[in-house]
Structure 1
Amino acid sequence: MEARRVMSKQNDMQNVNEAVMRGKVLRAFAPASTGNVSLGFDLLGAALKPIDGTVLGDEVDLELASEFSLVVKGAFAHKLPADHDTNIVTRCYRHFIKVLGDKGIVLPAVKMTLHKHLPIGSGLGSSAASVVAALHGLNEFYAQVLGEVPFNQHQLLLIMGELEGQISGSVHYDNVAPCYLGGLTLMAEQADTLALQLPTFKHWYWVACYSGITVSTAAAREILPKQVSMPDTLKFGRQLAVFVDALYRQDEKLAVSMMTDVIAEPYRKSLLPYFDESRQFAMQNGALAFGISGSGPTVFAVCDNLEQAQKISLWLKENYIQNDTGFSHVCQLDEQGAVVKNANA
């Protein structure tokens, strides 16, 4: 009898909260990210935010509805499948609802609108941004219906990795973790700790230039050797360990000296027209480091001077970009990660 009273009270509260939420639209934003950060193949990732206020990331709007639906808008909406049932945002919704349904929690449907600002196959964590915006948005939206978040941060990150893996072909967190948590993250992938947020150099500028061509994650992985030599393995481990230590001690010179890629870049750069020339210009004009963002074709340059960053960004815009869908932005790290706001305001 007491259990039925508690359930009835919870249902009454949910009905009240649903009434409050009607007509409200929540907007979730998830920033672009760069995986690997050159030296940390599959183990490092960083969230990026243009300093000029450009929206570099995906947004998802959520509002109560009689049944689920998805609308897709944005500059790169036409690059997604026409069948919304296959869209990763739809998959996120269905997975989210199923997991809660298996626990006996029945939720009202929502209308979701994906604003697809990030190009597909760009090396900027495009699929991760859609996944994070969708799942973080759902978690915060239904928190206002239920009175508490359905999933804690760790649980939600696990789900994000699983869903993003459906797109990239394998579960890895070097895009979803920084996209969700913000800043620079190191993947731990332990039972109770999936990712760790690292100290950063706040004065660094990150130039991110997307050339406009597409490089699929699957193709970029296929080009890599199946085995890595012992010397390269030792160098990779040493670089990552020293880099993390240098971040904690704020030894900028030592950290920069570790930022070279011995695992992927030697092979993947063949997929990126004008990569070597771009690296040469950047390094000759003040860049601290230069590399491939994720699996490419986006490249990034790290600078400690805004004027140098702007000069490199302009040169890349004029020389590295291949078509009119490309872009180049001077960024800093997005320390917030995914955020939700009231779109009605």
Structure 2
Amino acid sequence: MELTTEKEPAGKARKEKDRVHVFAPATVANLVCGFDILGLALDEPGDEVIMERSDRPGVKLLKITGDDGRLPLDPAKNTVSACVQMLLKHLNREDVGVEIELHKHMPIGSGLGSSAASTVAGLFAINQLLGQPLTKQELLPFAMKGEELACGHGHADNVAPSLFGGITLIKSYEPLEVVSIPVPKSLYCSVVFPHVDVPTRAARQMIRSKIELKDAVVQWGNIAGLVSGLFMSDYGLIGRSMQDVLIEPVRAILIPEFYEMRQTAMAAGALGFGISGSGPSVFAFADNHPTASDITRQIVQHLQSKGIDSNGYVSAVNQQGPREL
């Protein structure tokens, strides 16, 4: 796998650490028309992992917060610890012992890449602890294994932007090739998570297995237009390309007030609006921070008027990915 952008230097021997505290960002996947191939990283929210060496070999998951008790502490069943185990085995470092705390700062099943952020935080943490033996490109397949464990499908549209930062395009899976897309300078995201339940697996099962050629042509044009708009910082083209004729019409049924939220966002100045990942979170692009803030505020207020609680965020595109705190 190769990230088609300026390459990182090959892993160099660095001093190993005894403790690291890592943040990894939430993500918006698909970007409306780019089902399973496009995604971006957010400045907030995100998940944190604290990892310390222990005297006994093996991986131990000590504590999870923010999950309402829904995630397993069994190291083999939690994506964070399971991926760390895989990485240690790959490096022939199973003599290493680590203890992990996972602190969730986003809801599970939010459509914001919750499992991806946790997995990326864990992999980045163990790589930092061991002196960075692997590049981010080499960490990606392990992160995809975490997605497979979490939701049954090892896609990269969440883990790639969380790991690399910025906007990423999955050009192909066989072979795995990830392309970094330029981020327009004034591009901001409004993100709202309505407190309704839309299980990822159920949302995927609703997707049509066959599509008409005329619909595919429309979708291909929108994907090409969106990528071109991002490269050229053409906000008008970005907005006109944020149309999905394949996935959104089906998934929108599962999200209360979806079309009303879209109308609210567009009236407030959004470039485009759509579902984040499999939902229920929604997002909008704006070309300045005040407009993005206003969009988030108005959507949250609209949901509140309908008796639906929500979390709202305003974020630039995170171009760093995971970082040590």
| 2:24 partner letter | A
SS for the counterpart of 1:189 is strand
Between the aligned partners of 1:181 and 1:218, the Cα distance in structure 2 is 25
Aligned partner of 1:116 among 99, 104, 107: 104
Aligned to 1:65: 54
Between the aligned partners of 1:307 and 1:36, the Cα distance in structure 2 is 24
Q: How many pairs are equivalent?
A: 308
Between the aligned partners of 2:173 and 2:198, the Cα distance in structure 1 is 30
Are positions 1:141 and 2:129 aligned together?
yes
Aligned to 1:32: 26
Between the aligned partners of 1:87 and 1:77, the Cα distance in structure 2 is 15
8 Å Cα contact 1:30-1:57 kept in structure 2? yes
Are positions 1:86 and 2:77 aligned together?
yes
1:25-83 CA-to-partner distances (Å, cap 9, x unmatched) read: 20121100000000111110010114xxxxx1111111111233212333225232354
Aligned partner of 2:177 among 165, 187, 194: 194
Kindly state the Cα deviation for residue 190 of structure 1 after the two structures are TM-superposed.
5.4
Aligned to 1:286: 269
Kindly state the Cα deviation for residue 236 of structure 1 after the two structures are TM-superposed.
1.2
Aligned to 1:332: 316
| 2:100 partner letter | M
In structure 2, do the counterparts of structure 1 residues 249 and 82 end up closer, same or farther at CA, with 3 Å as the change threshold? Answer: closer
Kindly state the Cα deviation for residue 193 of structure 1 after the two structures are TM-superposed.
5.5
| 2:298 partner letter | W
Between the aligned partners of 1:320 and 1:294, the Cα distance in structure 2 is 20
SS for the counterpart of 1:72 is strand
1:281-316 CA-to-partner distances (Å, cap 9, x unmatched) read: 111121111100000000001112333322221122
1:150-170 CA-to-partner distances (Å, cap 9, x unmatched) read: 322222111111221221211
8 Å Cα contact 1:77-1:116 kept in structure 2? no
Structure with the higher strand share, 1 or 2: 2
**Structure 2: where are the runs of 5+ without partners?**
1-12
8 Å Cα contact 1:275-1:320 kept in structure 2? no
Aligned to 1:301: 284
In structure 2, do the counterparts of structure 1 residues 323 and 285 end up closer, same or farther at CA, with 3 Å as the change threshold? Answer: closer
Between the aligned partners of 1:330 and 1:106, the Cα distance in structure 2 is 41
SS for the counterpart of 1:337 is coil
The structure with more radius of gyration: 1
Aligned partner of 1:45 among 27, 39, 48: 39
| 1:335 partner letter | Q
TM-score w.r.t. the length of structure 2 is: 0.88
8 Å Cα contact 1:72-1:116 kept in structure 2? no
Aligned to 1:231: 214
| 2:265 partner letter | A
Between the aligned partners of 1:319 and 1:135, the Cα distance in structure 2 is 39
8 Å Cα contact 1:62-1:113 kept in structure 2? yes
8 Å Cα contact 2:63-2:73 kept in structure 1? no
Aligned to 1:53: none
**Percent of residue pairs bearing the same amino acid type:** 37
Query: How much is the aligned-residue C-alpha RMSD, in angstroms?
Result: 2.0
Segment of structure 1 superposing worse, 271-280 or 302-311: 302-311
Between the aligned partners of 1:134 and 1:83, the Cα distance in structure 2 is 15
Aligned to 1:7: none
In structure 2, do the counterparts of structure 1 residues 191 and 295 end up closer, same or farther at CA, with 3 Å as the change threshold? Answer: closer
Aligned partner of 1:183 among 142, 166, 175: 166
